[in-house]
Amino acid sequence: MSHVEQDAVKGLIKTAADIRKIVEKKVGKIVSDDFLWDLLNRHGWKKKVPRPHHLKKMQRRKASLKKTPRKTWVP
C-alpha cells in the first residue's frame, strides 16, 4: 500500500496538489494535469466534492424570506 493510500485509509484528506508533489518527486519531472487525472482514474480514485444544494430548495427559501415581515422597523 502506497503512502497516499495509507493516508486515505486513515481518513486524511488528500488533494490533487499533494498527490502531484508525490508523483513529480517519484517521476523526477513536472507532470501535466491530464497525466495526474489519468493516473488517479486508472487507480480508481474519484474526485469527491460536497453535493450542491438543490436549486428549487434555494428558491423556496428565498420565497419564504420574501413573505416574512421584518421584526424591526428600518427607516
Task: Give the rounded distance of the alpha carbon of 49 from its chain centre.
Answer: 3
Q: Decide if 57 is inside a domain.
A: yes
Domain interval for residue 40: 3-67
- What are the backbone dihedrals phi and psi of residue 17, each rounded to the nearest 5 degrees, phi first? -65, -40
Q: Is residue 19 one of the residues assigned to a domain?
A: yes
Q: Do the domain assignments include residue 10?
A: yes
Domain count, the chain: 1
In a domain, 15, yes or no: yes
The per-residue pLDDT for range 3-56, each reduced to its tens digit, is 777 887 887 767 788 888 888 999 999 999 999 889 888 988 877 776 677 667
pTM: 0.52
> For residue 73, is it within any domain?
no
Give which of 22, 25, 19, 24 is closest to 41, Cα–Cα: 19
